[in-house]
Amino acid sequence: MDEHKGRLRASELEDSGDLGVNPTHNLTMGEIIASRFSRRDLLRGSLAVAAISATVGTRALAANEQPARMAAGASFDFKEIEAGIDQTHHVAEGYDAKVLLRWGDPLFPDAPEFEPAGQTPERQARQFGYNTDFVGYVPIDGSGLSRYNYVTAETMVTVLEHMYRDPRHRDALLATLPIAGRDGTMATRLRKTRAEGNAAAKTGSIANVRALSGFVKTRDGEMLVFSILANDFVIPSATITWIADVAVETLANFSRN
């Protein structure tokens, strides 16, 4: 601790493990971030907190938290857990954490079975890697309605592709998706097209938001994954729905030959 009474200097973490790396009186990166954001503010930034906390550590992010509590907008509220490191993944009360990808998970249909004691460069090239940079998807709430819960179409496709390639989840996932022109929210869509009875997709809609993500087979029988997300549009929602349907129909008519 130093003249900044009541605050943890990020340089303390640096000094505790090695010689100080900041010989000047300038603030460290952790202190610069802490002076602007509280830990709760960073959590409101969803994925941003993962990148920043991996860089400077959660203790540095928690610095100067008391003044931030009084600042307007710092209203994210939950019962925090005690900082520490052990063999258990601790999660705040009312929250849970699930693994999306593990070391050795297959990335391709022909990926070999994972053998941690028998890895080779060739085997690992077909599997999810080890010691990769941390990436976390942290939704603000479970409703999916929060503006902080944005997910890119690329991310959605990656998740769906991973689920489809995993035989443990493929059938259960496909069973939850409405079929175009047949049932659910897709019952009246894409009728009399090659996508009817073919495309399996989940719709999503709230004010000025439309989404359609799922799977469709091409003219050659190749399975494709797609995700179409539209936000904050100012044209009629029916037009957005029509554009999404045209896109899926185009995929259904696609051929590599």
CA nearest neighbour of 135 among 58, 56, 54: 54
Stronger pLDDT, 104 or 30, i.e. the higher one: 104
Check pLDDT > 80 for residue 14.
no
DSSP letters spanning 136-187:
----SSSSS-SGGG---HHHHHHHHHHHHH-TTTHHHHHHTSPBTTTSGGGT
Q: Give the highest mean pLDDT range of 101-105, 162-166, 196-200, 228-232.
A: 196-200
Sheet holding 209-217, edge to edge: 200-206, 209-217, 223-231
What percent of the chain lies above the pLDDT cut of 90?
Answer: 39
User: Which of these three, 77, 93, 109, is where a domain ends?
Assistant: 93
For 133-173, the pLDDT digits (tens) are 666 666 666 555 666 667 789 989 999 999 999 998 999 99
Q: Do 108 and 71 sit in the same domain of this protein?
A: no
Phi, psi dihedrals of residue 247, rounded to the nearest 5°: -65, -45
What confidence score (pLDDT) does residue 96 get?
80
pLDDT for residue 90: 84
Q: Which domain holds residue 106?
A: 98-141
- Pair (111, 160) in one structural domain: no
Give dist(CA 4, CA 25) in Å, integer: 13
Q: Are 201 and 214 in contact (CB under 8 A)?
A: yes
Give pLDDT tens digits for 52-107. Answer: 444 444 444 444 444 444 444 444 566 778 777 788 888 888 888 877 788 889 98
Q: Looking at residue 210, what is its pLDDT?
A: 92
Contact yes or no for 37/61 (Cβ under 8 A): yes
Q: Mark whether 212 and 174 lie in a shared domain.
A: yes
User: 153 is written with which tokens?
Assistant: 């179409």
- pLDDT score of 254: 95
Q: Are 11 and 28 in contact (CB under 8 A)?
A: yes
Distances in whole angstroms, Cα of residue 102 to Cα of each of 54, 87, 106, 123: 18, 17, 9, 15
Structural domain tally of the chain?
3
Question: Which pLDDT belongs to residue 139?
Answer: 60
On whether both 196 and 121 belong to a single domain, the answer is no
**Does the pLDDT at position 184 exceed 80?**
yes
Residue 257 lies in a domain: no
Q: Domain with 186 in it: what CATH number?
A: 3.40.710.10
Look at residue 182 and tell me whether its pLDDT is greater than 90. Answer: yes
Give residue 240's pLDDT.
94
Quick one: 208 and 227 in the same domain? yes
Classify burial at 62, counting beta carbons within 10 Å of its beta carbon; exposed 0-12, middle 13-18, buried 19 or more.
Answer: buried
* pLDDT of the residue at 187: 96
Most confidently predicted of 80-89, 116-125, 150-159, 212-221: 212-221
Average model confidence (pLDDT) for the chain?
76
Domain boundary among 83, 108, 141: 141
Q: Which long-range contacts (CB under 8 A, 24 or more apart) does 75-81 make?
A: 76/40, 76/41, 76/43, 76/44, 76/140, 77/40
Judge if 171 and 231 occupy the same domain: yes
10 Å CB burial of residue 32 (0-12, 13-18, 19+) is middle
